């Protein structure tokens, strides 16, 4: 249990579809499903903001399968993650939730909102977007064991290297102490989960027909909105809430500003 300033967030372990899923939850108000990045778990991604968010929302922050203390999926995919999250909401008696995802979590959030629009009140994407489908020629290439090993190594280097961190965070001094060490602690398993999810993405993600907002750290040079596939036509005009000077995980770099941005993006504050 974590308690600060009167807000309480509690850790719970659930069994969903025969798999252990760890969640952090607490607060009052509309349900807010927080989906973390590929760097770490729910606690690492959301602890700096979830107590303040719990003043306005019922926070539900799971460790996604294969991250933190949650069991991995046998065949990781965005669709499988979305189905597990629906089961999670059912277990908490939540009919609809605001779904917010950061980085890799944004792709999972998009999949959830597309698959279950009736369960999605609003969609908030934080420095992340669509996971591209693996081209057919790449899939054939990756059947070769040597090629798969090389590409896995390349993707891991692109995501977990010092160069990647330098692009992601314009001012590392704003991050919690020891953040890079925590990311690297489970780098191998995290990279494997993300890569396997990418391998199983056989079709492009569709654009959800739900209200959407983008919260974007403008200093992020690792992922631009164009790279995230967000420069496209949406059924409803999306909100854009920029956080100037923040990078790839603005909730860690500018927590106060992020909380206000999420309230705006979720429609909780005009």
CATH of the domain at 238: 3.40.50.1820
Task: Work out how many domains the chain is built from and give that number.
Answer: 1
Q: Please indicate, yes or no, if residue 117 is contained in any of the structural domains.
A: yes
The token pair at 225 is 């909105």
Residue 206 lies in a domain: yes
Do the domain assignments include residue 270?
no
Residue 14 lies in a domain: yes
Q: Are 12 and 38 in contact (CB under 8 A)?
A: no
Is the pTM above the cut of 0.75? yes
Residue 10 within a domain? yes
157: its two tokens = 């280097």
Name the residue range of residue 73's domain.
Answer: 2-265
Q: Count of residues for the chain?
A: 270
Distance of CA 86 to the CA centre of its chain: 15
Tokens of 115: 């698959």
Q: Is 204 inside a domain boundary?
A: yes
Tens place of pLDDT per residue across the chain (270 aa)? 555 444 689 999 999 999 999 999 999 999 999 999 999 999 999 999 999 999 999 999 999 999 999 999 999 999 999 999 999 999 999 999 999 999 999 999 999 999 999 999 999 999 999 998 877 666 666 666 667 777 777 777 778 889 999 999 999 999 999 999 999 888 889 989 998 898 888 889 999 999 999 999 999 999 999 988 898 778 878 999 999 999 999 999 999 999 999 999 998 765
Q: Among candidates 193, 220, 4, 30, which has minimal Cα distance to 107?
A: 193
Strands 7-16 and 19-27: antiparallel
Please indicate, yes or no, if residue 211 is contained in any of the structural domains.
yes
């Amino acid at each position: 249990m974590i308690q600060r300033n009167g807000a309480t967030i509690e850790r719970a372990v659930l069994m969903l579809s025969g798999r252990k899923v760890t969640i952090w939850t607490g607060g009052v108000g509309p349900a807010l499903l927080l989906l973390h990045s590929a760097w770490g778990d729910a606690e690492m991604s959301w602890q700096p903001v979830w107590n303040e968010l719990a003043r306005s929302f019922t926070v539900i922050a799971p460790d996604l399968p294969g991250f933190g203390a949650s069991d991995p999926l046998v065949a990781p995919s965005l669709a499988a993650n979305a189905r597990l999250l629906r089961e999670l909401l059912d277990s908490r008696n939540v009919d609809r939730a605001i779904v917010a995802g950061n980085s890799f979590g944004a792709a999972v959030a998009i999949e959830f909102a597309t698959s279950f629009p009736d369960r999605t009140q609003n969609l908030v994407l934080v420095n992340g977007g669509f996971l591209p489908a693996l081209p057919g020629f790449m899939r054939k290439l990756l059947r070769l064991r040597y090629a798969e090993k090389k590409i896995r190594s390349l993707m891991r280097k692109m995501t977990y290297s010092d160069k990647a961190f330098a692009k992601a965070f314009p001012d590392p001094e704003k991050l919690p102490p020891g953040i890079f060490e925590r990311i690297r602690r489970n780098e191998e398993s995290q990279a494997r989960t993300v890569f396997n999810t990418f391998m199983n993405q056989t079709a492009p993600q569709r654009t959800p027909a739900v209200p959407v907002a983008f919260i974007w750290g403008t200093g992020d040079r690792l992922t631009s909105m164009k790279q995230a596939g967000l420069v496209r036509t949406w059924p409803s005009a999306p909100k854009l809430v920029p956080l100037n000077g923040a990078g790839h995980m603005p909730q860690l770099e500018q927590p106060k500003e992020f909380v206000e941005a999420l309230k705006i993006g979720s429609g909780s504050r005009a």
